[in-house]
């Protein structure tokens, strides 16, 4: 029933004892009166002075409430005049829904978003880091002062810098040189896109080369972010078993549209793909028909021997995308990665990069170019390699000594994490739950499988933790088994 002007103050009930401020209470109650239709369109409200006096509040309280409702589109308010209700029936509902965040029914999602929501990739990486979460380097060891100087110089120079390319030339050149000398990648600077992360590179590749229903092969167990990106694009993703040499070919199966692999240190097992296997996959991939994505996410860290050159460097026909990231080599919050694109796709990938907006801040790109050119990047890597090597050995030794009967450790030749298998079988998810409750964060190997898990074990990070922290975590683990 419509409300007369005189009744408005009688319908407003302000609590002076609660936490909610008077303005917020008044705004919300007037909004409800309008949204419910009791104050209809064209209705003139009392003046702020009159309503304030009726309600026993200050005039400012009423004025602020009127201003807020005017900003939300409920009232017409102009200086010196009494406010007038501006919305009716349908509009009122729409305004009410927007203002109160109420949505009618479930939002209709695109197939891409629906598929992405179905992936079971946990978002735990958003939670604070706890020992021995895999996938991280030690941010505490990063030379923040040096990096800050590079950032500062780059920001100061920005005033003089011309608006330049999305992928900064200096950084492209520095990276082309770095990947050629350290990983045997063969690419010109203009094949390199600078992106906010390796995950961004996977999303971009999927957007450009995957058509709904295409077949994609990934390692099983493998990196869930890759399977998620390709599945969201509509691909049929098949997990491929591993053996000692890495991913195995499916005998007789036709080549898929895309094969995703981590040949330098298989994620999660840390195994190295043999040269014979690399050549076999390259032979299987017909140029322009089957793409290979080589994710070299932690290829900077090798401890026992010289690193094996990249698969991309073996390819003479432009079939391989090479993905790198600074998340592990520097810090995960630096948000920089890169993608070496096969020559035939550079222009298309650049267009997609712009349209999806996967562009890294120019001044950060310039700062990184300087960080690399001045030798800080390689110096940091050398130091981290020594440190992480010692931490790997420390964790291996601790696990063997205290948990040798329960866990069988696979010692990776590089990388930042390792796999320890449950010797007596059993469900790794239950073990992970116990460990997490005790303060040690690991991942179940089975959670990295696409189908029915073949492997049960724990994925343990060692790079991000000091030896004393590793020792404490191993003691905790020993008390859980
Ligand atoms: C195999 C693999 N590829 C890519 C990524 C993602 O790297 P970024 O943080 O640059 O997206 C990760 C992160 O853990 C990874 O393990």
For the stretch 333-362, pLDDT in tens is 899 999 999 999 999 999 999 999 999 999
Q: What are the percentages of helix, strand and coil residues in the chain, rounded to 5? A: 45, 15, 40
Contact between 196 and 337 under an 8 Å Cβ cutoff? The reply is yes
**Closest ligand 1 atom, residue 200 Cα:** 11
Topology of domain 5-100, per CATH?
A: Arc Repressor Mutant, subunit A (1.10.10)
- Among 121, 194, 225, name the best residue to mutate to test ligand 1's pocket (greatest count of ligand atoms within 8 A of Cβ): 225
The answer to whether residue 186 scores a pLDDT higher than 70 is yes
The string over 260-296, giving b where at least 16 C-beta atoms fall within 10 Å of a residue's C-beta and e elsewhere, is bbbbbbbbbbbbbbeeebbeebbebbeeeebbbbbbb
Specify the length of the chain in residues: 481
**Closest ligand 1 atom, residue 325 Cα:** 10
- Among 195, 229, 261, 267, name the best residue to mutate to test ligand 1's pocket (greatest count of ligand atoms within 8 A of Cβ): 267
Per-residue model confidence as pLDDT tens digits over 364-401: 999 999 999 999 999 999 999 999 999 999 999 999 99
**Count of CB atoms within 10 A of residue 475's CB?**
12
* pLDDT-based confidence at residue 129 (cuts at 50, 70, 90): confident
Least confident range from 4-18, 135-149, 416-430, 444-458: namely: 4-18
Which residue, chain included where needed, has tokens 């992106």? 195
Q: Which residues make Cβ contacts (< 8 Å) with residue 183, sequence separation at least 6?
A: 296, 299, 307, 309, 310, 312, 313, 322
Closest CA to 137 of 307, 325, 313: 325
- Phi/psi at 362 (5° precision): -60, -45
Least confident range from 111-120, 156-165, 291-300, 346-355: namely: 156-165
Any idea where the domains of the chain sit in the sequence? 5-100, 116-131+139-378, 380-480
Give CATH for domain 116-131+139-378. 3.40.640.10
The C-alpha atoms of residue 22 and residue 18 are separated, in whole angstroms, by 9
Whole-number Å distance, alpha carbon 101 to ligand 1 midpoint, is 35
Strand 84-85 relative to strand 75-76: parallel, antiparallel, unpaired?
Answer: antiparallel
Which residue, chain included where needed, has tokens 């349908």? 90
* pLDDT-based confidence at residue 25 (cuts at 50, 70, 90): confident
The answer to whether residue 237 scores a pLDDT higher than 60 is yes
Topology of domain 380-480, per CATH?
A: 3.90.1150
Whole-number Å distance, alpha carbon 198 to ligand 1 midpoint, is 6
- What integer pLDDT is reported at residue 101 of this predicted model? 46
3-state secondary structure of 297: coil
The answer to whether residue 19 scores a pLDDT higher than 70 is no
Instruction: Name the E strands within 206-313.
Output: 215-219, 236-240, 242-243, 246-247, 258-261, 291-295
Asked if the domains 5-100 and 116-131+139-378 are classified in one and the same CATH topology, the answer is: no
**Closest ligand 1 atom, residue 134 Cα:** 14
- The continuous run of DSSP H or E covering 433 comes out as helix 428-438
Q: How many CA atoms lie within 13 A of 114 on its CB side?
A: 7
Enumerate residues lining ligand 1, CB below 6 A: 135, 197-199, 223, 225, 262, 267, 295, 297, 325, 327, 332, 337
Residue closest by Cα to atom 2 of ligand 1: 297
- Phi/psi at 99 (5° precision): -65, -40
Whole-number Å distance, alpha carbon 144 to ligand 1 midpoint, is 22
């Amino acid at each position: 029933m419509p409300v007369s002007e005189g009744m408005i103050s009688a319908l407003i009930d302000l609590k002076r004892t609660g936490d909610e401020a008077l303005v917020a209470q008044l705004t919300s109650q007037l909004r409800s009166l309008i949204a419910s239709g009791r104050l209809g369109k064209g209705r003139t409200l009392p003046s702020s002075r009159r309503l304030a006096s009726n309600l026993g509040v200050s005039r400012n309280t009423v004025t602020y409430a009127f201003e807020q409702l005017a900003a939300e589109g409920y009232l017409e308010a102009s200086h010196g005049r009494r406010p007038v209700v501006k919305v009716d029936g349908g509009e009122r509902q729409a305004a009410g829904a927007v203002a109160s965040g109420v949505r009618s029914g479930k939002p209709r999602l695109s197939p891409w978003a629906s598929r992405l929501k179905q992936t079971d990739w946990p978002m735990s990486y958003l939670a604070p880091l706890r020992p021995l979460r895999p996938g991280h380097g030690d941010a505490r060891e990063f030379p923040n002062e040096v990096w800050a100087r590079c950032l500062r110089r780059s920001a100061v120079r920005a005033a003089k810098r011309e608006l330049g390319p999305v992928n900064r030339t200096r950084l492209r050149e520095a990276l082309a040189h770095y990947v050629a000398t350290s990983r045997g990648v063969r690419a010109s600077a203009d094949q390199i896109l600078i992106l906010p992360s390796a995950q961004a590179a996977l999303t971009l590749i999927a957007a450009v080369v995957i058509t709904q229903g295409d077949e994609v092969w990934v390692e099983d167990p493998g990196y869930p972010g890759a399977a998620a990106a390709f599945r969201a694009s509509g691909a049929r993703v098949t997990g491929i078993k591993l053996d000692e040499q890495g991913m195995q070919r499916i005998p007789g199966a036709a080549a898929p549209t895309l094969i995703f692999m981590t040949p330098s240190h298989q994620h999660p097992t840390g195994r190295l793909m043999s040269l014979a296997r690399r050549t076999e996959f390259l032979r299987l991939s017909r140029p322009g028909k089957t793409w290979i994505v080589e994710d070299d996410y932690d290829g900077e860290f090798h401890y026992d021997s010289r690193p094996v050159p990249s698969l991309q460097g073996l390819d003479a026909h432009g079939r391989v995308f090479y993905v790198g990231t600074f998340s592990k080599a520097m810090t995960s919050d630096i948000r920089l990665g890169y993608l070496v694109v096969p020559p035939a796709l550079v222009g298309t990938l650049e267009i997609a990069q712009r349209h999806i907006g996967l562009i890294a801040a120019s001044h950060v790109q310039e700062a990184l170019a300087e960080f690399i050119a001045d030798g800080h990047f390689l110096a940091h890597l050398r130091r981290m390699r020594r440190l992480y090597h010692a931490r790997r050995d420390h964790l291996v030794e601790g696990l063997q000594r205290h948990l040798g009967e329960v866990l069988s450790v696979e010692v990776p030749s590089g990388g930042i994490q390792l796999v320890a298998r449950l010797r007596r079988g059993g469900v790794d998810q239950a073990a992970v739950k116990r460990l997490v409750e005790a303060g040690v964060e690991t991942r179940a190997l089975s959670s990295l499988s696409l189908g029915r898990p073949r492997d049960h074990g724990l994925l343990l990070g060692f790079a991000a933790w000091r030896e004393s922290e590793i020792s404490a975590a191993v003691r905790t683990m020993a008390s859980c088994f």
